[in-house]
Amino acid sequence: MPLLPAGARGAMTDPLIECHGVTVRRGGEAVLDNVGIAVMPGEMVSLIGPNGAGKTLLLRVLLGLLRAEEGRIASRPGLRIGYMPQKLELDATLPLTVRRFLSLGGAVAAGQRAGVLEEVGISALADRPMRALSGGETQRVLFARALLRNPDLLVLDEPAQGLDIHGQDELMALIEETRRRRECGILMVSHDLHVVMAATDRVVCLNHHICCTGHPTDVEIDPSYVALFGERAAGHLAAYRHHHDHVHGLDGEVVGAGGAHGHDHHQGHDHHHAHNHGHGARDG
């Protein structure tokens, strides 16, 4: 069951957005095959899957940017969506400051903009040209633009893409904090379960169809997840998990200094194998 923080906007039982039976074909092949997904108020759902699995495509269908051949999409009436696209490709000839970029989503009161810049930690960048920003700064500016819409639902497409591990951790912490403060739902795409794991309520693993879904610690040991991401990803996790045993140092660099970072949340992690082998994580 999704975790619903108290005080989330709207009716608790209605999803912010959901789809059922979404199918999209490209050249006869179903790139999305009977996919259903829902995000509840205040819930953080991570959509993971390998490259080319159809993650961004599913986001585009949910956002109404692409029409699915089959399936049904429903969102709560008046739902405000803040969208953070995967990439921003600005032409070098377009002079645009951060402030101006943020105003393109609609008129913004100066006070509100200052507040969001502060919230995202980029107050100092307001007058900088967009093209002078680093990858991490650009991601934060995109995130700020999504927040300026006062969203009920944040849709983030690979927000940590192209960042180093430190940058990824910082951005994920910011996203987690934002959810707590604003009590908005979040649907986030990632190709890496580890990046999103700590903050996520529910993981949906997609490879054209939905392979498995559930709590991150269930999904990571789901046979279909292991099959999809390979033994290496699974081995990775095993190494993480047994870090505190000081026994199974399968992968030296992983077990090393940075290895434990971000995984302190997994209480009782030593027992995962025994617990979860039986029931898998297919709770639909």
Contact residues for another protein (CB under 8 A)? 60, 63-65, 81, 83, 85, 88, 90-91, 93-97, 100-101, 104-106, 129, 145, 149, 155
**What stretches of 40-137 adopt beta strand conformation (E)?**
44-48, 70-75, 81-84
Give the separation between CA 255 and CA 250, rounded to whole angstroms. 8
Q: 81 vs 239, which CB is nearer to another protein?
A: 81
β-partners of residue 3 are none
- Minimum CB–partner distance for residue 29 and another protein (Å): 14
Of 22 and 59, CB closest to another protein: 59
- SS3 assignment, position 124: helix
**164-170 — which CB contacts under 8 Å span 24+ positions?**
165/258, 167/135, 167/136, 168/195, 169/261, 169/262, 170/136
CA 123, CA 116: separation in Å to the nearest integer?
Answer: 8
**In terms of CB distance, is 9 or 60 closer to another protein?**
60
Output the smallest distance, CB 91 to another protein, in A.
5
Closest CA to 95 of 48, 128, 135: 128
The residue among 23 and 103 lying less far from another protein, judged by its C-beta, is: 103
Q: How far is the CB of 47 from another protein (least distance, A)?
A: 17
Beta carbon of residue 104, minimum distance to another protein (angstroms, whole number): 4
Q: Which is nearer to another protein, 34 or 97 (CB)?
A: 97
CB of 131 to another protein, least distance (A): 12
Question: If you search the block for the tokens 């940075």, which residue do you land on?
Answer: 258
